[in-house]
Chain A
Amino acid sequence: MKLFGRRQKSEKKRSASDEDLFDEEMQRRLEVLALVARRIYRGRQRAERRTRKTGAGIEFADHREYAPGDDFRYLDLNVYQRTGRLLIRLFEEEEDLSVYVIVDTSRSMEMGDPPKLQYAKRIAAALSYVALANLDRVSVLGFSDQMETRLAPTRGKNRIFKVFEFLRPLEAKGETDMKTALRTFAAQNKRRGIAILISDLYDPKSFEDGINQLRYAKFDPYVLHVIDPADARPPLHGDVRLVDHETGETREVTVTPRILEKFAKAHARYQQQIEEFCGNKQVNYHALPTNVPFDEAVLRILREGGLLA
């Protein structure tokens, strides 16, 4: 709370006019979440991640032949005394972790109660805050059939308001094309890290291709599947014309209890298909029903999976 006290003064005017997506209650919950997250990661090196890149770290990695211009301080004198060879000690370079929070902003995300996009924004904000609190480098991005907007990587807990400012105006628009969008993402972000994909995964082409783009580009993908429970059992009956909210495709159907039952099964199968794909590909997967409070969902994610660990 103290963290946001100073900020609140400067942000007060703006918050009053903004939607209540990131209101005081949200901020209070994030603070609690950060404290809980800190306990979960107690004992681990705070904010330090080793990469395969060698450099100026303190952890020995390997030797190589001396070359003119090398820093004499890294000459391994013991080896030189034993073997007479000039070898340079190589160390693993220390590097802060890059966390990419990728939010689906396609039109299907504006459906549901609460809207899935709103829920996704809160999840994204919460995870960003936990990551920023761990001194990780956080970048937030929105996509539909292409990469839409991007918050440049940032670090430090007090940068959470940048995240809020980025997330707040995000609107649902466009169709979903994860493959194209995430291929673009991979190409634009050379620095590998954790890619947290928050989406309802309603991709008419293939959700697998989208996730594979992250895998192929050596990102560490986390799939957070936002699910509106009403999607599985829509409150429909009688003769209706179903219109896809993204593509405008229509299907006429006379909805009966039997049809609804079948649809529920189809919806469950689709969800199971996603889960099995992620399991097979060793991709972390978490289903997030929108009727579960976002902070509970985040804690479950943190406890169950190695996210941010």
Chain B
Amino acid sequence: MTFTGLSFTQVLTVLGAVGGGVVILYLLKLRRRRIDVPFVKLWEQVLAEKQTTRLFSQLKRWLSLLIALMIVAAIAFALGDPRNAGITEDGRTLVVLVDASASMQATDEEDGQSRFEAARETLGELITELGPTDRMLVAQLDASATPLSPMTSDARVLEEAAEALEVLDVAANPRAGLRLALDVLRDQPKAEVILLSDGLLDEERFDTSAFSERLAESAIAFSWEKMGEKESNVGIGAFSVRRYPLDKSQSEVLVELYNPTDEERAVELELLGDGETVDVQRLTVHGGERLRRFFRNISGVDQTLEARLKPVDGKPDHLPADDRAWARLPERRRARVVVYSAGNLYLQAALLLDEYLEVVEAAPSDYPLEGRFDVAIFDSFVPPSPPSTPALYLYPVPATDEAWAPLAVEGVIETPYFDHIDRRHPLVQWTALGDVNVATALQVELERGDRAVARDDRGPLIVTGARQDQPFVAFTFDVRQSDLPLRVAWPLLLLNTIDHFVQERDGFVSSYETGETWYVPVGGGARVATIVDPQGHERDVPVVDGRAVYAGVRAGMYTLRAGDDGAEESFAANLGPGSESIIDPPDEVVLAGVTAGEPSQGEAGVRQEIWIYLVLLALGILLVEWLTYHRRMTV
């Protein structure tokens, strides 16, 4: 006999506590009531006869107590949910992982049913087939693994868990699912992990090989119920938007279409700006092709962009989740720039190119100028102390050797060249610096955390970093002693630097990816923000270092509320990994080196739940006690 509810110790504890209470109450009951009678002598004859039956009376009292204790014992053992040990060991212990990733939204099942709905139906069948001693735990597998029920044989609880399953716009994390299953099934008899999935698990990101040894040693069976069969999909693989650096009224949009199938697909791509159609293109995407398309000079769009894809070749597209994508345009804001310079025509001219810059010029002797600025530019001038704004230092030679400088100057580099350029860095995008001629540059020493975006073999030429928590960019050469001002790269370099500061501070991201943790910038020093997801569900999220932290699982437009004034901002999220567009189910699933087999069959039958009979026994005894009491047999 084993106890699957309360443990045997707990049953004994309940029995002891309640049984003790019953005995105390019984002793209290035995305290006789005092009754005044007019002539007790009359009772003596009766009592004399009663003495002969005293033993029987005592027995009846003990019988009454025994009945009460039997009721308590029956209920206490019922709470323990006792099972026949032999039968319990025969029962299976199942962990059912239901794949709720984006690919499970594919509608290639019968009657247009999605894979996820089919998985839910299969789960229902598994619950129905549970044997009398089988137990099951239902967990949802998405970017994490979430148990939705306890390990139970209660079909009603399991069905409620099945109803609570929810498909999301993320990739499935097999590592989390396997870890949960191994933890739950440790030392359990006849343990089995059943995966209800299309088998499209993101093993590249979530490697399960670390569990190989543990799974092999545990004797836990791993089985897979395949969902979905067909492959017919074309989707949006990437969607991004940016404003032009020199004309922020216009934007450039990148759309990448992905056809994971072998067949050529004809699609219509519609681009909407702020809800209005901006452009429509008919495109052909070859099998396996990632087709990139740029929509240039998009104007008249202030906030949101949406891309919609639909096939026009009459073939089905089973996964609608990757047919839409959203993006948020960066806010157009006039940046305030202060320039401390003794006079630099090239600098002044370059700054005039951006109409969204508000430039204030000042002599080095005017430092620091009052007012709030987004960027400070120091032209051949180093302030006596680190500025409280992001700063661009052009040829930062300190006034004296003891004076503060963003970079320690150790010497001079004659005729440096841009030998190494970090092309991925936003500072140097759209620039060609390879053949720029420079007369001399400062030999500077980088501090920890500093980064040389461009450098000569002998030393850095463009450096980024932070001083006193404020970012800075330093050009170690004097642009006036180079041909850089004569090139297009010069104003781009300047404007990239300013945008880098401004956008870095704002942390602007045109769209987030589902399945990742998002850090959404929040203004106003709020500690808590409210995020409203595309389905309208509100959720309070913490704000850390000025950013709302949120693990997004749905694609679409979100709203963020924060601050005392409840100011709202929107941001976009798109289907995370492009691999979710691949909906062709594999023939086999291998996790941690183990190939999934067929799920075991249960033997549905009458569940041997002894607790029901114990409760009925308690009720029966209670009825007997009631009858005997009211018939004055046990009083």
Contacts and interface: CB of A to CB of B under 8 A. Distances in A.
A116 to B, nearest CB: 8
Contacts of A256: 632, 635
22 contacts: A111-B36, A202-B39, A204-B39, A204-B41, A237-B632, A237-B635, A238-B33, A241-B32, A241-B33, A241-B34, A242-B35, A243-B35, A243-B40, A244-B37, A245-B36, A249-B40, A250-B40, A253-B43, A253-B47, A254-B50, A254-B57, A257-B632
B348 to A, nearest CB: 110
B35 to A, nearest CB: 5
B42 A263 contact: yes
Closest 6 A/B residue pairs (Cβ): A244-B40, A202-B39, A108-B38, A241-B32, A239-B32, A240-B35
B36 A253 contact: no
Nearest to A252: B32
B45 interface: yes
Contacts of A244: 36-41
B30 interface: yes
B47 A251 contact: yes
A266 B39 CA distance: 12
A94 B39 CA distance: 45
Interface in A240-274: 240-247, 249-254, 256-257, 259, 262-263, 266-267, 270
B213 interface: no
Contacts of A252: 32
Given A259-B46, A266-B43, A270-B42, 17 more contacts: A108-B39, A111-B36, A200-B38, A202-B38, A202-B39, A204-B41, A236-B35, A237-B632, A239-B29, A240-B35, A241-B34, A244-B36, A245-B36, A245-B37, A249-B40, A251-B44, A266-B46
A246 B291 CA distance: 113
A133 B32 CA distance: 52
A240 B33 contact: yes
Contacts of A249: 40
Interface residues of B, number: 23
B49 interface: yes
Contacts of B38: 108, 111-112, 200, 202, 228, 231, 244-246
A249 to B, nearest CB: 5
A169 interface: no
Contacts of A204: 39, 41
B40 A263 contact: no
Contacts of B57: 254
Contacts of A241: 32-35
A243 B35 CA distance: 6
Contacts of A253: 43, 46-47, 50
Contacts, number: 87
**B33, B40, B632 — most chain A CB neighbours (10 Å):** B40
A240 B50 CA distance: 14
B40 A254 contact: no
A237 B50 CA distance: 15
A243 B30 contact: no
B408 to A, nearest CB: 100
Contacts of A240: 32-35
A259 B635 CA distance: 12
A266 B42 contact: yes
A5 interface: no
A306 interface: no
A112 to B, nearest CB: 8
Interface in B589-635: 632, 635
A276 B485 CA distance: 146
Contacts of A112: 38
A242 B40 contact: yes
Contacts of B32: 239-241, 252
A249 B41 CA distance: 9
Nearest to A202: B39
Contact of B43 (A237, A245, A251, A257): A251
A237 B40 CA distance: 16
B33 A263 contact: no
B40 A239 contact: no
B635 A267 contact: no
A250 B29 CA distance: 19
A84 interface: no
A172 B190 CA distance: 84
Contacts of B41: 202, 204, 244
A247 B42 contact: no
A243 B32 CA distance: 11
A262 B42 contact: no
Nearest to A228: B38
B35 A239 contact: no
Contacts of B35: 234, 236, 240-243
Interface string B558-598: 00000000000000000000000000000000000000000
Contacts of B33: 238-241
A228 B44 CA distance: 19
A131 to B, nearest CB: 29
**A238, A254, A267 — most chain B CB neighbours (10 Å):** A254
Contacts of B29: 239
B635 A234 contact: no
Contacts of B632: 237, 256-257
Contacts of A236: 35
Given A239-B635, A256-B632, A266 B37 contact: no
B44 to A, nearest CB: 7
B187 to A, nearest CB: 54
Nearest to B41: A204
B201 to A, nearest CB: 72
A147 to B, nearest CB: 21
Contact of A243 (B34, B44, B46): B34
A281 to B, nearest CB: 22
Nearest to A204: B41
Interface in B442-486: none
A239 B31 CA distance: 8
Interface in B8-62: 29-30, 32-47, 49-50, 57
Contact of A267 (B40, B42, B50): B42
Contacts of B46: 253, 259, 262-263, 266
A236 B36 CA distance: 11
A254 B37 CA distance: 15
A253 B39 CA distance: 15
A298 B15 CA distance: 66
A243 B37 contact: yes
A201 to B, nearest CB: 9
Nearest to A235: B35
Contacts of A254: 50, 57, 635
A113 to B, nearest CB: 12
**B30, B32, B45, B635 — most chain A CB neighbours (10 Å):** B32
B45 A266 contact: yes
B384 to A, nearest CB: 100
B40 A251 contact: yes
B624 to A, nearest CB: 18
